[in-house]
Structure 1
Amino acid sequence: MQHILIIEDDEDIAEIEQDYLEINQYQTTIASDGLTGRKLLNEQSFDLVILDIMLPGINGFQLLKEIRDRISIPILMVTAKNETVDKIRGLGFGADDYLTKPFDPAELVARVKSHLSRYDRLTNQTVQPSNQDVLNINELSIHKKAWKVYLNEKEIKMANREFELLVFLAENPNIVFSKEQLFEQIWGFDYCGDSATVAVHINRIREKIEKNPSKPAYIETIWGAGYRFNI
């Protein structure tokens, strides 16, 4: 049974999330503040985290920034305000998705199922690696089946969407893709978001793989057109 950590200080909301998830056969644990959530993440293994932004002790942004580079599981952020800046900030720190309160618990369950399914497909591969499973571009090495990225032989941690976006671009080098094309390819038509999400994730990838993110060598911005992966 997959185990989900709910970090939410509103007891009523946390219990509603827990009830809907457990009805759908997920095991859940609730943390009512950021410090308890951090402690649980250090001590136990979880398959997905639902993380509120406004938390006592340590807020959701701080916790996300602290744990993302060492924890690759899907993280869904929950915000009480429908403000684009909060959503972009959360995605920039490595969140995979976000929901704005109030939300339909059934939508939460659908998002959870989608992210867990995608994560399982990326990580639970039984096929033995082959040369086609590894993309080597200069100092960068992308192991598709192992879901790992190395820069100068040092592993670089990436969130789910960052990895998928990097793989897609690296598999289609020297082609310019618009933000809309990339959004459709990686997030799909049914995702509740917009193409601005792409720019946030591109910036996150650049911070991790580029020697100088302000003058990227791998992922180049083609002004007025989109992005191109150079080899």
Structure 2
Amino acid sequence: MQNVLVCDDDKEIVDAIDIYLQQEGLKVFKAYNGQEALDILEKEDIQVAVIDLMMPVMDGIQCTMKIREHSTIPIIILSAKSEDADKILGLNIGADDYVTKPFNPLELVARVKSNLRRYTQLGNVDKAQDGDNVFRAGELVLDDNAKTVTVDGEEVKLTKIEYNILLFLVKNKGKVFSINEIYENIWNENAVAVDNTVAVHIRHIREKIEIDPKDPKYLKVVWGVGYKIDTEG
């Protein structure tokens, strides 16, 4: 059984999410502030975390930052419509996805399952064939067997979404993809108003793999078109 952490200070919301996720065969661990979420993560094998932004004791932003110090599990943030800046901040510090309150429970379930699929697929190293899954762009190397990324021989830590985006672009080195194309290939759903979501992840990847993110060597923008991985020029 796969485990999902749900953290929100509104007990009714947590209980409602619990019911829907249990119907999908998922086990839910409940927390009502960021510190409780961290305590659960220390004890349990959690595959996905759903975390509200506004909570007492420790809010969702602080909690996400703490999780990212030692874990790359997918994090879905819950954000009220009035909290767009916090939502973008959450993505920028390592969250993988977000759902805006008030939300359709079925949409949240779909996003949890989608993140679980990606996390499980990336973690299934046994499916990879030795020697067939190392991708290079200059000194940027992705070993899809070990699920590692190195730049100039130094390993960098990416979240699952960041890894997926980078792997997709490196596999298609030199080809330009629009924001919508990137989103649809990585999230496996139609792209609707996703510019900020993709741009935040691209910026975060650059901060990790580039010496100078403002003058990138690898992950480049083609203005008005999209992004590509290219070591030329």
Partner of 2:111: 111
Q: Aligned partners of 1:44 and 1:191: how far apart in 2? A: 34
Partner of 1:14: 14
Displacement of 1:162 in angstroms is 0.9
Give the unaligned 5+ runs of structure 2.
none
Partner of 2:50: 50
Q: Aligned partners of 1:54 and 1:157: how far apart in 2? A: 27
1:122–1:193 Cα change, 3 Å: farther
Deviation track 1:99-137 (CA, whole Å, cap 9, x = no partner) reads 111212222222111211122122114235433301133
Q: Aligned partners of 1:3 and 1:186: how far apart in 2? A: 22
Deviation track 1:2-42 (CA, whole Å, cap 9, x = no partner) reads 11111111111111111221222211111111111122222
Displacement of 1:196 in angstroms is 2.7
Partner of 1:196: 196
TM-score by length of 2: 0.90
CA RMSD of aligned residues (A): 1.9
1:57–1:193 Cα change, 3 Å: farther
Deviation track 1:145-185 (CA, whole Å, cap 9, x = no partner) reads 33221234333221122111101111122222222322232
TM-score by length of 1: 0.91
Q: Aligned partners of 2:146 and 2:191: how far apart in 1? A: 26
Aligned length: 231
Deviation track 1:55-81 (CA, whole Å, cap 9, x = no partner) reads 111111121122224211111110123
Q: Which amino acid aligns with 2:40?
A: L
Question: SS of the counterpart of 2:35?
Answer: helix
1:175–1:92 Cα change, 3 Å: same
Partner of 2:101: 101
Q: Would you say the 8 A contact 2:29–2:40 is kept in 1?
A: no
1:129–1:27 Cα change, 3 Å: same
Select between 19-28 and 174-183 the one with higher mean Cα deviation: 174-183
Partner of 2:230: 230
Select between 82-91 and 4-13 the one with higher mean Cα deviation: 82-91
Q: What pairs up with 1:1-231 in 2 under 5 angstroms?
A: 1-190=1-190, 193-231=193-231
Displacement of 1:223 in angstroms is 2.1
Question: SS of the counterpart of 1:176?
Answer: coil
1:56–1:176 Cα change, 3 Å: same
Q: Aligned partners of 1:109 and 1:157: how far apart in 2? A: 27
Q: Would you say the 8 A contact 2:78–2:98 is kept in 1?
A: yes
Select between 46-55 and 136-145 the one with higher mean Cα deviation: 136-145
Q: Which amino acid aligns with 2:166?
A: L
Question: SS of the counterpart of 1:131?
Answer: coil
Select between 1-10 and 190-199 the one with higher mean Cα deviation: 190-199
Select between 110-119 and 125-134 the one with higher mean Cα deviation: 125-134
Displacement of 1:95 in angstroms is 1.3
